[in-house]
Amino acid sequence: MLDKVDLTKKLSKKQYKELKEPLAARLYELQMITWDAQIPIIIVFEGWDAAGKGNFIQTLIARLDPRGFKLHRIRPVRTYEKKRPWLWRFWYKIPARGEWAIFDRSWYGRVLVERMEHLVPENEWSRGYQDIVDFERALADDGYLMVKFFLHIDQKVQKKRLKRLQTDPFTMWRVRPEDWERNKHYNQWVQVYEEMFEHTDSEWGPWTIIEAHNGRYARIKIMRTLISALEERLSGLGLLPTPEVIHEAVVAEES
């Protein structure tokens, strides 16, 4: 899957400027509708180190009502959390009716970092695929809408971005030794990600791969994908007449 992704996709500054504000305004409108309709939304961001998750999330939430969403930046499991079922720490972050929950990394760490860094035995991370599918299916059956993004960059671009971060005194803290180790073993990580897609891409929790070499393109695709998912759900519930086309300019997304 990842080897077929076209990472050359991009948007010009002019196109980005034309698209960003209408899309941001539409996201706010849809947030208000889902709040009134009491539809809970879960948005998951996964992907390569230095792919831009934090920056893209900030763009996404810039125009949203902060009272209606929570951002969860997932860190390594803590000691007290290890004493509970592994999905416990995610269950209590699930949003209330009408709220949005945005995850900067998520429960997929079980089959990614925890697997690759041997933090759990094989029988636990291999069982994690089915645990995740059951977890997401239970949420979908209860009315939750789940949108999952994977931010993709190639090995060369990742290395370049890590170097840039490391040489800046204001961002060098963001680069850890394990980031370089993961870049070194990039191809192994590709295989792990592919296996993740194979086991966890579902009707109720599909993955959307975001071509993240060009930040402008990635931001617009994230917003458009989320808008499309929200409109489809609301239309299916009779809360929108039909899925709306957001401004004619949105049709031409690529340069």
Tell me, yes or no, whether 255 lies in a domain: no
Nearest in space to 61 (alpha carbons), one of 104, 94, 28:
28
Phi, psi of 42 (to 5 degrees): -120, 125
Q: Which domain holds residue 119?
A: 2-250
- Residue 166: CATH number of its domain: 3.40.50.300
CA-to-CA distance for 64 and 60, rounded, in angstroms? 8
Total tally of structural domains belonging to the chain: 1
State if pTM tops 0.75.
yes
Tell me, yes or no, whether 46 lies in a domain: yes
Residue with tokens 């458009």: 224
Question: pLDDT 10s digit of each residue in the chain, 255 long?
Answer: 899 999 999 999 999 999 999 999 999 999 999 999 999 999 999 999 999 999 999 999 999 999 999 999 999 999 999 999 999 999 999 999 999 999 999 999 999 999 999 999 999 999 999 999 999 999 999 999 999 999 999 999 999 999 999 999 999 999 999 999 999 999 999 999 999 999 999 999 999 999 999 999 999 999 999 999 999 999 999 998 655 544 443 444 444
Torsion angle (degrees, nearest 10) of CA 148, 132, 111, 153: -10
Tell me, yes or no, whether 188 lies in a domain: yes
Contact 203, 133 (CB under 8 A): no
Angle between helices 177-184 and 186-200 (to 10 degrees): 80
